Structure 1
Amino acid sequence: MSEVLGVTAQAGEVEWQRRYGSALMNTFGPPQRVLVRGEGCYVWDSEGTRYLDLLAGIAVNALGHAHPTLTGAIGAQLNTLGHISNFFASPTQIALAERLLQLVVPGGAPEGSRVFFTNSGTEAMEAAVKLARKHGGTERPRLLALEGGFHGRSLGALSLTHKAAYKEPFGAMPVDVVHLPFGDVAALEEAFAGDVGIAALVVEPVQGEAGVRPLPPGYLVRARELTREHGALLVLDEVQSGMGRTGAWMAHHHPEIGGGAVPDVVALAKGLGGGFPVGALVALGEGPASVLTPGTHGTTFGGNPVAAAAGLATIHVIERDGLLDAVTERGEQLRTGVEALDHPLVAGARGVGLLLAIELTAPVAPDVARAALDAGYVVNAVAPTAIRLAPPYVLSQAQAADFLADLPAVLDSVRSS
């Protein structure tokens, strides 16, 4: 198999790094390690070193690595029917759409709701932009988003993304977007006060790339009132926070975040396929669901039978193994454990479930992430003063305890350097 894949069995880390640098575009910088195998919550690099994966491919590998139910479902489907195009449907595609309509809103989506499948979160958000723009028409072309928001890197999704450095190299953005201060209800009310052609408000219930920041209580409730009053759509980007990552199927299901507000559109991806690329845009109700019609949007690979099988298997394991409760328990263990360290570099912890950030007292997050990797832990410096934790839902109590026990030494090594 190694020969078929073009893999040299004896190649080491230095050789793989050299080959990477001469074969791949420099869009991510040098890889931190070359990983060759994973099992459960652990991964191994090309030198045989084992790491506890507390990032899960950036909130993707919900079931960890090589989960037998997931790999079995993918293999069985691929052995039966792989790609068919969207000129046709498959039972797995239909079944996954039905399951998502049951999960996105507690008690089930309203009548007339529909799903559009994609391959990634960026594609789901690109579809959301097109849906919002078509809904608003020429009279309401403007979208609202929040400062600190990250929604993807295609041009439509990038228009919603706040960080200027991501956008400036590409000139003017194609979508008219106004970014509002994060969590500021007064600013939200002011934006709608003039009724200046707003098609949609797009928000993350928990901002991931901004350092894991949940929206403050009451914000989404007021956002729902204002969007409904002005005929605008409320679009929730649950790409990172959805599919059980926070201990509920959707982050906005938590009363302190969503307050019972029901959005018009929800974008999903990351954990949906447990590691297999799949995304979805869920439009709630006949109005939002009928905006995109034949010819207005499409995809070649979206909703293919294998991706749909991966999504169904992931949902099945989360339900079968009680992983929503496990996410809540492990998240509480990590959050309270970090706060109890009383370390000079730790200011606290924030987040929900297993989407957490360790808040630091100094802008040394990259140094902490490197030291953690050297100590055998995969974490992410999501902001200068924040370390993101987004481990698999199958993380054990003992594995979380190991990390908490080793974290002080990791932090001490950064302080002394």
Structure 2
Amino acid sequence: MNQYKTFGWYAARVTPHLPKKAFKPVPMRLFGGLAYLLISIAGIMTISLYDMNLWIYLMISGVLGACFAAMGFLGHEILHGTVVRNKMISSLLGAVAFWPLTTGPRLWKKWHNIEHHRHTQDEHKDPDAWFTVEAYNKSKLIRLIYRLPFVVRAFFSMLSLAVTFTAHSIKMFFSYIKDFKPGKQPAVWLQFVLPWASWIGLLLWIGPLKWLFAFVIPVLIANAIVMAYISTNHRLNPLVPVNDPLANSLTVTVPKWVDVLHFNFSYHTEHHLFPGVNPKYYPLVKAKIKEMWPERYHEMPMQKALALLWKTPRVYFEKDELIDPKKAVVYGSLGNGLNGLALPSKHEKNSSPGSLKAQKNKAKKAQ
């Protein structure tokens, strides 16, 4: 991409083509959330009150995990103000929706709505951005991890998706709690402690075996589902000097019925362009973007995006490329040479032997 544009630049050109109702809240989405909530309560109570075959417990755990993830997707909508506009009500509903993922609404708004959306793929300001060669060079732990064979790193990276959201949420709490005014910190602490207290209370009531099926396995499944989207949202995109959603975000495609179950969470470029528009209307936004800037827009099937995550390293080199420091092999990012086979970037493949050697030497210095 030759020139980055701000999300406001794109929004100003797409907005006139959207219906006015697209900018209004859609409270009917709460009925889907209510269904997930009731199923979750029923599943937890069934495990808690009845002694059944472990395979039945496991099936219920799968349903609970799917419900926990979907509630998180709806909570994301609610806390962006696209379901109800009343701040007190949206915070309450958001707290309920994010309860299984143990993330408080005030923390989420600070971490996601403010920091991530304002500074998407900014290597210094985006709390969700992956690290650069410079950061790699400063961390003994990361350098130690990158000494492992690539396939081992890739396997454990994908496996870690089952815990990443919860772990990152805890990290964000301790990173941002000091940024809240002293008078608001008790509420943020309460929103952090209450979900964990309730789940630990459930453990004390039903015992560790049933708790494994009522909470641990479901939350691992929920993490994996949520992170399958979140990990593909930006990790294949370049780091950027301008918050350009067509450059720094990826929309993945999934079957229509999955979009229905997951509240259109797959439309991520559209979300970064219009976070205040309910995802119900993102297909309209997508159609207009593809009409106006087809060469800038990034989309691919979910399974292909996950495969590319497996095949590429997660260390940024020169902002628009990814590098495996162990092998000093450089890969492109989306819009900068990345292709379905995750081959070395176009920049590297077209380099002369001398410039390629210099590039690899520069990479090796990071080890």
**What TM-score results when the alignment is normalised by the length of structure 1?**
0.26
Report the structure, 1 or 2, having the larger strand content. 1
Report the structure, 1 or 2, having the larger helix content. 2
